[in-house]
Structure 1
């Protein structure tokens, strides 16, 4: 069961990454194509103004989910690194709780605007803007689930020490991070 859940989670993030790549391809092709048409044929495609903007919105919102999952968001860790382990856990728990509240506000705000968003059509494509801004339902839900899972793991003592610092040192490769973690574990066991 655990392996099935891990496979489903990996498939979900893989799907998000594929959608993000498709958004980037749409943006690249439509903007570049429109620039070339305007430059050489003095014309353009009206849809090329709207669709890249919509793709950018999806790219941004889905990227927030993937970034949270990979712990890739920007942050300042100077104070947290100076704290003892219990202080790091408290700060990490507070940050997860704040992100959970923000995710709740994203969901609530989208729900409040649902009828307005669903009732409006985009000017050129004439599609419901719910197809554009409805991605915030996905983002708010996914971020809330990630934060709840992290808080549960924290309460059960399943969060590892290296996870408490959400900022990766600049220029440090993944291999260097693993080596650094191993050295810390060896040093702790030797003490």
Structure 2
């Protein structure tokens, strides 16, 4: 399934970002500590590591938001939605998804309007155009937007499954899992 491959790739990107961040920050800390004892390597630290780790943290967070959206893991009001049944639950899901879709459009438009400014701004240490930081808004708005739009279309065409509704209500953790409280 293509979506599974996409999400797996995003997860691997997140792991790579995390490994790079930890490696850079740890190495920089060790080099600075060594320079305190008179052993100066690489000028006492790697200057680019702090800025680059911040950029990777932004991407880790924004890509993580897309992955969590694909797993239906974002915050919801499950106590209320769990009490709803039938069309009321579908209406709650539809309303929620429309609101999320509006937020994705606002994020995309805001990022689009800021892109020319950030394309010309240069990060002081790495020299990267700042669009590499702020461009994460494009990935997040499009990624979450596609996920939610697919669900809206399934609701409008009557193809939403009972399992998806139960997952929206927090009754199951994911589409392949058993209901909460179920013991085999």
Classify the TM-score, shorter chain.
0.7 to 0.9
Of 17, 24, 28, the residue aligned with 1:30 is 24
Q: Residue in 1 aligned with 2:10? A: 16
Aligned-residue offset at 1:176? 3.5
Matched position secondary structure for 1:110: helix
TM-score, scaled relative to structure 2: 0.86
Contact 1:20–1:63 under 8 Å retained in 2: yes
Q: Residue in 1 aligned with 2:40? A: none
Q: How many residues align?
A: 173
Contact 2:48–2:125 under 8 Å retained in 1: yes
Q: Residue in 2 aligned with 1:156? A: 157
- Is 1:94 the equivalent of 2:95? yes
* Per-residue Cα deviation, 1:116-163 (whole angstroms, up to 9, x for no partner): 110101110001111122121111111111111100001112212232
Contact 1:27–1:56 under 8 Å retained in 2: yes
TM-score, scaled relative to structure 1: 0.83
Q: Residue in 2 aligned with 1:147? A: 148
Aligned-residue offset at 1:50? 0.5
Contact 2:104–2:145 under 8 Å retained in 1: yes
Between stretches 159-168 and 121-130, larger displacement belongs to 159-168
CA RMSD of aligned residues (A): 2.2
Q: Residue in 2 aligned with 1:176? A: 178
Contact 1:77–1:167 under 8 Å retained in 2: yes
Matched position secondary structure for 2:129: coil
Contact 1:72–1:167 under 8 Å retained in 2: no
Q: Residue in 1 aligned with 2:168? A: 166
1:170 and 1:162 map into 2 onto residues whose CA distance is 8
Contact 2:115–2:134 under 8 Å retained in 1: no
Aligned-residue offset at 1:166? 2.7
**Which is richer in helix?**
1
Unaligned runs of 5+ residues in structure 2 are 37-43
Unaligned runs of 5+ residues in structure 1 are 1-5, 181-191
Alignment of 1:1-191 (within 5 A): 6=1, 8-42=2-36, 43-164=44-165, 165-166=167-168, 168=170, 175-177=177-179
1:50 and 1:134 map into 2 onto residues whose CA distance is 16
- Relative to structure 1, the CA distance from residue 105 to residue 175 in structure 2 (aligned partners, 3 Å threshold; closer, same or farther) is closer
Q: Residue in 2 aligned with 1:184? A: none
